[in-house]
Amino acid sequence: MLKRNTDHYPNIFPIQGALWREEAVLNLSNPGTGNWGYQTNEQQACETTEGGKIPGMTVDKLMEQYGCDFIDILKIDIEGSEKEVFETSAPWIDRVGAIIVELHDHFKTGCSRSVYSATTNFELEWRKGETTFFVKKEYAPTGFDQALTSTDSANVPSTVTSRKRHSKIVSVM
């Protein structure tokens, strides 16, 4: 479906694989959560008739392969594998301006800890639903940081925190 949806965009390269801590062959399995919840693992974690083996790859190797020096926005929803990906993020994390991630501690303990440890240089953070945003101040939209200290918070996403100051939390209902 991704190939079909992106066929008209020459700058999009669909890749059949999974983000992981290293290049490896991974098992793709359905733990019973439906088509949206497939997970990857090194060892078969559950019996399933669906799935198979897929290549695991790292963010830095993908950046190298496609000649990408910097990622403006990295969106990650990988059903628990964020633990492994962010535990080994040192080679690429400083070359990302913003990260949008769904954390899946309910699938794998330590996902949030891994992501938060890796994103200490991202000054802005907020949550919207089950999605967490981490943004380096210099990559935030113009005026965004001023909105954090303004009494008019209409344009700020719900629950925004300036991570460097740790003192300003804005909630928008």
Count Cβ atoms below 10 Å from residue 55 Cβ, excluding itself: 13
| Secondary structure (3-state) at 78 | coil
68 within domain boundaries: yes
Does the pTM of the predicted model rise above 0.85? Answer: no
**What is the spatial distance between Cα 84 and Cα 127, in angstroms, rounded to a whole number?**
22
Domain count, the chain: 1
Cite the DSSP H helix spans in the chain: 2-6, 59-65, 82-87, 111-118, 144-149
Beta strands in 13-170 (DSSP E): 18-19, 24-29, 39-41, 52-57, 71-76, 96-102, 124-128, 131-135, 160-162, 169-170
3-state helix, strand, coil in the chain (%, to 5): 25, 25, 50
| Secondary structure (3-state) at 53 | strand
Q: Residue 40's pLDDT is what?
A: 74
Q: Pick from 63, 104, 100: which is nearest to 83 by CA?
A: 104
The answer to whether 137 and 124 are in contact (CB under 8 A) is yes
49 within domain boundaries: yes
Domain extent at residue 45: 2-163
170 within domain boundaries: no
What residues contact 67, with CB distance under 8 A and at least 6 apart? none
**What is the spatial distance between Cα 93 and Cα 63, in angstroms, rounded to a whole number?**
11
Tokens read off for 120: 């200490």
**What is the spatial distance between Cα 31 and Cα 42, in angstroms, rounded to a whole number?**
14
User: What confidence tier does 13 reach under pLDDT thresholds 50, 70, 90?
Assistant: confident
96 within domain boundaries: yes
75 within domain boundaries: yes
Strand partners, 99: 74, 134
What single letter denotes the amino acid at residue 150? Answer: S
Question: What confidence tens digit (pLDDT) does each residue in 41-97 have?
Answer: 776 545 444 568 889 999 999 999 988 999 999 999 988 889 999 999 999 999 999
147 within domain boundaries: yes
Decide which of 17 and 29 is more confident. 17
**Quick one: average pLDDT of 2-30?**
87
173 within domain boundaries: no
171 within domain boundaries: no
**Quick one: average pLDDT of 98-127?**
94
